[in-house]
């Protein structure tokens, strides 16, 4: 008989759906969950539930969906990346769009005045002070970004200021000399650089107008009873979430260690540097991500036969890569302990994972995480839905060979694992 617990289900692909409705399009982020997946998981497993957690929140897709759903009273999100914290806060914080429009007009008028003053050398603009600024940005772009930033900093209301800082961070990405479509920082080649003449003000204005339209939609439909708590914490550790308090988890953990999968730190670096985050804060992101520090040996206590078998296969080809893989699961197992602590009995956990391939060996993360959850505690496995990742949204993973554009690892599918704490 066919095993109907784990199966391919194309109804999870949402191939032609618009994914940027409401505030979902505020800022790009690597390996975003699509809102339709979060929404459907919430509808299927969140009936009568009140407290949602996304322990790897990223840009806050699941939190925003919780705010758009009627029954949630609380939504927690955890991330170690300050950019993720800022984007998620802004996406879930309602702001009256009329006030936003007024602030926007004033902001642009200040920018125009300052630009003229700078052109006539009546005003000097303070540029940020970080390593390689001129390598990543053209001189005229640096001036325009500095003008916009100074104007945003004059906004008094913190929520409105943060709203425009998110627009600003996305603008920084678009006008920088980095190649499009790479999560790692790669500079454009000479011919691309020659053609690259961004109009920084227009990019900022276009993005701001779009986000204001998103906020207009959100302001009409959000659930004011749902309180959002964004936590700058580490899911591997004891968090500030009370024991037995969460009744639904919707999340997409990283695909693996950030050295060889998605480099969240590199993706966020330029934006964060422009936003004056400290050097250490910015450079530590990838180190504190799951699997950020490679394990020294392959000996481990993890209770997953599938992981053991997979590591044996990889280590026959490359022991170092097997250690990279292991380091991720050692950290993931720490998160399992914390997620077990914070959830109530009867809580559903919906985990969207990628089964990446290392040295030609596919790693069945969906099986491994299930074994880790079930090793010490009682969890019922309800389903694993396998969805296609539509091509346009396919994550471009880092090349372990470090050759620009050589994405040795590509993924076409995701596994949505549903378990219930008994
Ligand atoms: C796949 S992304 C999540 C994307 C998110 N679902 C979205 O729609 O934007 C995984 C996230 O896990 C975060 N992360 C990595 N290690 C973490 C840790 N130890 N604790 C909390 N978050 C972590 C990364 O910074 C990243 O933002």
Instruction: Provide the pLDDT for residue 240.
Output: 98
Residue 405 confidence (pLDDT) above 70: no
Helix (H) or strand (E) holding 358: strand 357-358
Atom of ligand 1 nearest to the CA of 87: 9
Instruction: Give the C-alpha separation, 305 to 39, whole Å.
Output: 33
Confidence of residue 184 (pLDDT cuts 50, 70, 90): confident
Tell me how far the alpha carbon of residue 39 lies from the centroid of ligand 1, in angstroms.
18
Residue 270 confidence (pLDDT) above 50: yes
Confidence of residue 4 (pLDDT cuts 50, 70, 90): confident
Instruction: Please list, residue by residue across 367-401, b when 16 or more beta carbons sit within 10 angstroms of its beta carbon and e when fewer do.
Output: bbbbbbbbeeeebeeeebbbbbbeeeeebbbbbbe
Domain ranges of the chain: 6-93+232-421, 97-220
**Structural tokens at position 307:** 């992981």
Residue 3 confidence (pLDDT) above 80: no
Q: What is the pTM of this model?
A: 0.95
pLDDT tens digits, 280-303: 888 899 989 999 988 888 888 899
Average pLDDT over residues 30-58: 97
Contacts of residue 32, Cβ cutoff 8 Å, sequence gap at least 6: 58, 59, 61, 393
Q: Whose CA is nearest to atom 1 of ligand 1?
A: 254
CATH class of 6-93+232-421: alpha beta
Nearest to 58 by CA among 86, 38, 36: 86
pLDDT tens digits, 104-145: 999 999 999 999 998 888 888 889 999 899 999 999 999 999
Q: Of all residues in the chain, what percent carry a pLDDT higher than 70?
A: 95
Tell me how far the alpha carbon of residue 421 lies from the centroid of ligand 1, in angstroms.
22
Confidence of residue 16 (pLDDT cuts 50, 70, 90): very high
Residue 311 DSSP SS3: helix
Average pLDDT over residues 143-165: 97
Average pLDDT over residues 373-391: 92
Instruction: Provide the pLDDT for residue 2.
Output: 52
Q: Which residue has the higher pLDDT, 343 or 396?
A: 343
Going 295 to 251 to 52 to 225, the CA torsion angle's sign is positive
Q: Give the orientation angle of helix 200-221 with respect to helix 139-153, to 10 degrees.
A: 40
Instruction: Provide the pLDDT for residue 398.
Output: 47
Instruction: Provide the pLDDT for residue 402.
Output: 42
Average pLDDT over residues 231-246: 98
Instruction: Provide the pLDDT for residue 124.
Output: 85
Average pLDDT over residues 379-403: 70
Tell me how far the alpha carbon of residue 197 lies from the centroid of ligand 1, in angstroms.
33
Taking all residues of the chain, what is their mean pLDDT, rounded to a whole number?
92
Task: Give the burial class of 109: count Cβ atoms within 10 A of its Cβ; 0-12 exposed, 13-18 middle, 19 or more buried.
Answer: exposed
Q: What is the DSSP letter of 413?
A: E
Instruction: Give the C-alpha separation, 256 to 407, whole Å.
Output: 15
Tell me how far the alpha carbon of residue 254 lies from the centroid of ligand 1, in angstroms.
6
CB–CB of 56/85 below 8 Å?
no
Nearest to 152 by CA among 109, 86, 107, 112: 107
Atom of ligand 1 nearest to the CA of 54: 6
Residue 417 confidence (pLDDT) above 80: yes
Instruction: Provide the pLDDT for residue 206.
Output: 98
Average pLDDT over residues 181-191: 88
Atom of ligand 1 nearest to the CA of 29: 9
Cβ neighbours, 10 Å, residue 263: 22
Nearest to 384 by CA among 349, 412, 360, 411: 349
Average pLDDT over residues 80-103: 98
Q: Of all residues in the chain, what percent carry a pLDDT higher than 90?
A: 82
Instruction: Provide the pLDDT for residue 301.
Output: 85
Average pLDDT over residues 177-199: 91
* Ligand 1 site, CB within 6 A: 29, 31-33, 56, 58-59, 61, 78-81, 84, 234-236, 252-254, 264, 289-290
Instruction: Provide the pLDDT for residue 331.
Output: 96
Average pLDDT over residues 370-376: 94
Instruction: Provide the pLDDT for residue 122.
Output: 80
């Amino acid at each position: 008989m066919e095993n109907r617990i784990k199966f391919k289900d194309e109804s999870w692909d949402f191939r032609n759906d618009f994914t940027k409705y409401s505030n979902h399009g505020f800022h790009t982020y690597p390996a975003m969950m699509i809102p339709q997946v979060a929404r459907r998981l919430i509808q299927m497993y969140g009936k009568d539930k009140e407290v949602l957690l996304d322990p790897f929140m990223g840009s806050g897709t699941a939190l925003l969906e919780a705010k758009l759903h009627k029954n949630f009273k609380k939504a927690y999100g955890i991330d170690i990346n300050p950019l993720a914290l800022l984007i998620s806060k802004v996406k879930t914080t309602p702001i009256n769009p009329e006030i936003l429009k007024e602030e926007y007009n004033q902001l642009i008028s200040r920018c125009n005045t300052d630009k003229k003053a700078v052109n006539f050398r009546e005003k000097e603009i303070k540029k940020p002070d970080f390593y390689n600024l001129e390598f990543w940005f053209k001189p005229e772009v640096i001036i325009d970004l500095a003008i916009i930033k100074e104007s945003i900093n004059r906004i008094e209301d913190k929520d409105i200021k943060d709203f425009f800082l998110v627009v600003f961070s996305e603008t920084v990405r678009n006008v920088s000399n980095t190649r499009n479509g790479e999560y790692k920082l790669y500079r454009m080649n000479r011919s691309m650089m020659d053609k690259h003449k961004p109009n920084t003000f227009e990019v900022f204005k276009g993005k701001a107008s779009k986000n204001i339209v998103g906020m207009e939609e959100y302001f009409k439909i959000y659930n004011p009873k749902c309180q959002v708590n964004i936590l700058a914490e580490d899911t591997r550790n004891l968090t500030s979430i009370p024991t037995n308090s969460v009744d639904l988890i919707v999340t997409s953990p990283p695909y693996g260690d950030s050295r060889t999968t998605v480099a969240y730190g590199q993706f966020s670096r330029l934006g964060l540097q422009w936003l004056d985050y400290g050097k250490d804060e910015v450079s530590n992101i990838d180190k504190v991500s799951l699997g950020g520090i490679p394990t020294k040996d392959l000996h481990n206590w993890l209770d997953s036969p599938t992981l053991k078998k997979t590591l044996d296969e990889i280590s026959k080809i490359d022991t170092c890569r097997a250690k990279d893989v292991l380091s991720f699961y050692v950290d993931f197992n720490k998160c399992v302990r914390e997620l077990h602590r914070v959830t109530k009995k009867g809580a559903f956990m919906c985990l969207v994972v990628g089964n990446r391939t290392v040295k030609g060996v596919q790693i069945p993360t969906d099986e491994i995480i299930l074994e880790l959850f079930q090793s010490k505690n009682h969890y019922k496995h309800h389903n694993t839905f396998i969805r296609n990742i539509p091509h346009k949204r396919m994550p471009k993973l880092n090349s372990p060979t470090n050759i620009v554009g050589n994405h040795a690892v590509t993924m076409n599918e995701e596994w949505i694992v549903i378990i219930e704490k008994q």
